């Protein structure tokens, strides 16, 4: 707690420092051209304290955000007697002098940003998560057009709207900017053969299924790829590995999860979906070959059964000594023989409350008559009743890679290293043995773990304080849902909450690896400049909703996050914010430095000043507009802040 408070103070000081150097730029240039500075204020509102030095009143405002330099004669063009103002006043100087004063504040911010980026570069760069710069997809929405076109997790995006794809932030921009279509180029990658097949699709963004208000849009890519590494927790961590269901699996610190229930795994989102999907992974023998098949896992009450089939299932229930009623047990939408051979498919009621039928001819992967089931989620079975017994407990079969990465990766090589890290021959071997029902298999650096029984999120071995926080979070969500007026939306939200309560987890922390990010300071500068220009231009053209902008509170949060990660991360965000402040102030709006520059240029070119009344009519509305924007984005910052806790 003390450390977090310290980081908040450092964040506040960092933002205050950026404002300070901006105003110092104005101050020193004003003094240099001979203007008389009356007040130098850090912060706005009533002064908390003030003192006089070199004829200037220095003060600290009650509001820690903002600041100003008051120059003599800044509010009037002529003296009260109608004579020209004294030479040491703002309008007593030439237009070029006024331009230099207005320009110096933003210039200091811009130069300071470049200085910070240079310091980071000279110190060897900073560590960033693999997922920040990767072009490999981590999860694709199964209901998206992109998924229907065959793009899956693990595939690669190379170009985005005819530009190089630099990372997931490109898609985040698209989620808040009102773009009508996106051109995506990339490669479909087969990790079992290392083959690649290029693709290009023009896609229409749609409402992101994770967006509550519908403000965010997506093309179907819901997360970037990450390295699911089981890293050793810090010494002060309260993670009780001895109580985790993964303890007996054979996993060791440093293992990277790469495969689960028949699929290569590329993100936490995908792994969570595989752990919780209402399907079972079966190992079946078909015409002398073994293959893995995923089929629905349903309760027997949802199967359309004949009376004879019901009697047979009841007999198997007795053989496994289950105390539950047969209709409450889990099965698959197929009838099997006493020896575990598939006989016929069955109609069933799915999660959508609709009746479904699986036809053998639809897909080669669907079970066919004559298939013999040899394992259920990695648990070997030899008869119908052992199959039924295995169906009652969910298990997850995992394959891990040991020793990745062998060395620290840079952001330039991470995608190639990720795509080529797994030997396809070893992968095919270990997957084949897993499908055969074997466990604790090792081939090269790949290792099949023993089947794991996931647990409910609420059953995680957490400390009492964390369990209390989790309970409070669920209670708060339920209270918010109960306040929803629309009955359909309320029911939908309540179902989502129920699914969250029943969420299954593996019970171990998985973290992404770090890569070394160290482009030249000019590259970083141009990237941040481009992002800032894109954001501001989208704001003024109406493509960006102001609610997604950050105000002072958001800036403090960003710098605070940087301090949590490390000094270099904090310096980077200070540089990015400093550059954004500098660019924003150069916009040709009457209330900003760019507006003062435009007024001076007008006078310089046309040899006449803008009248005081005209300037007032221009400046006052824009001041009101900026104050309104300031209040609005601050309000949105507060909403986002509190949404993390309630």
* Contacts (Cβ under 8 Å, ≥6 apart) of 431: 192, 259, 292, 399
Number of H helices, E strands in the chain: 17, 29
Instruction: Report the DSSP beta bridge partners of residue 282.
Output: 293, 376
Residues 381, 387: Cα–Cα separation, whole Å: 6
Phi, psi at residue 286, to the nearest 5°? Answer: -130, 115
Is 76 known to be catalytic? no
Q: Are 583 and 533 in contact (CB under 8 A)?
A: yes
For the four alpha carbons of 230, 233, 238 and 243, in that order, the dihedral sign comes to positive
Residues 396, 402: Cα–Cα separation, whole Å: 19
The percent of the chain in helix, strand and coil, each rounded to the nearest 5, is 45, 25, 35
Q: Are 414 and 434 in contact (CB under 8 A)?
A: no
297-321 burial code (b ≥16 CB/10 A, e <16): bbebebbebeeebeebbeebbeeee
Instruction: Spot the catalytic one: 23, 128, 285, 389.
Output: 23
549-566 burial code (b ≥16 CB/10 A, e <16): bbbbbbbbbbbbebbebe
Q: Are 451 and 396 in contact (CB under 8 A)?
A: yes
Environment class of residue 460 by beta-carbon count within 10 Å: exposed (0-12), middle (13-18) or buried (19+)?
Answer: middle
Residues 418, 133: Cα–Cα separation, whole Å: 12
Residue appearing with tokens 């209270």? 479
User: Could you give the residue numbers annotated as active site?
Assistant: 23
């Amino acid at each position: 707690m003390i450390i977090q408070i310290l980081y908040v103070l450092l964040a506040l000081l960092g933002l205050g420092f950026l404002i300070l150097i901006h105003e110092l730029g104005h101050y020193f240039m004003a003094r240099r051209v001979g203007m008389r500075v009356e007040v130098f204020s850090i912060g706005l509102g009533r002064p908390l304290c003030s003192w006089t030095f070199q004829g200037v009143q220095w003060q600290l405002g009650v509001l820690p955000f903002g600041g100003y330099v008051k120059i003599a004669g800044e509010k009037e063009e002529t003296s009260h007697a109608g004579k020209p103002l004294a030479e040491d006043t703002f309008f007593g100087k030439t237009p070029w002098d006024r331009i230099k004063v207005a320009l110096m504040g933003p210039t200091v911010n811009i130069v300071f940003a470049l200085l910070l980026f240079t310091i980071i570069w000279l110190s060897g760069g900073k560590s960033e998560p693999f997922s920040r710069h990767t072009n490999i997809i981590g999860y694709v929405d199964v209901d998206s057009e992109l998924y229907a076109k065959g793009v899956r997790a693990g595939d690669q995006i190379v170009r985005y709207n005819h530009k190089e794809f630099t990372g997931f932030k490109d898609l985040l921009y698209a989620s808040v900017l009102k773009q009508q279509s996106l051109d995506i180029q990339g490669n479909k990658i087969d990790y079992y053969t290392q083959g690649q097949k290029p693709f290009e699709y023009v896609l229409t963004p749609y409402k992101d299924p994770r967006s509550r208000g519908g403000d965010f849009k997506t093309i179907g890519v819901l997360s970037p790829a990450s390295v699911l590494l089981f890293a050793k927790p810090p010494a002060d961590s309260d993670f009780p590995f001895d109580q985790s269901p993964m303890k007996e699996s054979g996993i060791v610190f440093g293992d990277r999860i790469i495969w689960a229930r028949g699929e290569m795994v590329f993100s936490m989102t995908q792994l969570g979906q595989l752990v919780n999907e209402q399907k079972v992974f079966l190992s079946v023998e078909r015409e002398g070959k073994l293959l893995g098949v995923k089929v629905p896992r349903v309760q027997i009450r949802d199967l359309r059964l004949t009376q004879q089939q019901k009697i047979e299932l009841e007999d198997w229930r007795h053989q496994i000594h289950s105390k539950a009623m047969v209709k409450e047990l889990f099965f698959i939408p197929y009838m099997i023989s006493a020896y575990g051979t598939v006989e016929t498919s069955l109609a069933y009621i799915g999660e959508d409350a609709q009746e479904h039928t699986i036809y053998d001819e639809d897909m080669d992967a669907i079970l066919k008559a004559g298939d013999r089931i040899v394992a259920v989620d990695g648990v070997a079975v030899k008869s119908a009743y052992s199959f039924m017994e295995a169906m009652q407990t969910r298990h997850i079969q995992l394959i891990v890679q040991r020793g990745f990465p062998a060395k620290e990766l840079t952001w330039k090589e991470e995608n190639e290293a990720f795509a080529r890290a797994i030997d396809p021959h070893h992968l095919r071997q270990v997957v084949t043995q897993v499908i055969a029902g074997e466990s604790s298999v090792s081939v090269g650096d790949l290792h099949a773990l023993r089947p794991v029984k996931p647990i409910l999120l609420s059953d995680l071995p957490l400390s009492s304080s964390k369990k209390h926080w989790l309970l409070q979070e669920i209670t708060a969500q339920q209270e918010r849902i109960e306040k929803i007026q629309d009955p359909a939306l309320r029911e939908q939200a309540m179902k989502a909450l129920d699914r969250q309560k029943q969420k299954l987890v593996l019970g171990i922390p998985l973290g992404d690896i770090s890569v070394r990010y160290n482009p030249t300071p000019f590259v970083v500068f141009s990237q941040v400049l481009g992002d800032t220009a894109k954001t501001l231009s989208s704001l003024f053209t109406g493509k960006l909703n102001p609610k997604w902008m950050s105000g002072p509170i958001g800036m403090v949060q960003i710098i605070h996050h940087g301090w949590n990660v490390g000094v270099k991360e904090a310096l980077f965000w200070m540089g990015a914010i400093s550059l954004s402040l500098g660019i924003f102030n150069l916009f040709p709006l009457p209330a900003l430095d760019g507006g003062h520059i435009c007024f001076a240029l007008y006078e310089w070119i046309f040899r006449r000043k803008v009248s005081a009344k005209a300037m007032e009519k221009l400046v006052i509305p824009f001041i009101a507009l900026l104050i309104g924007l300031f209040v609005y984005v601050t309000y949105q910052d507060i909403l986002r802040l509190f949404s993390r806790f309630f």
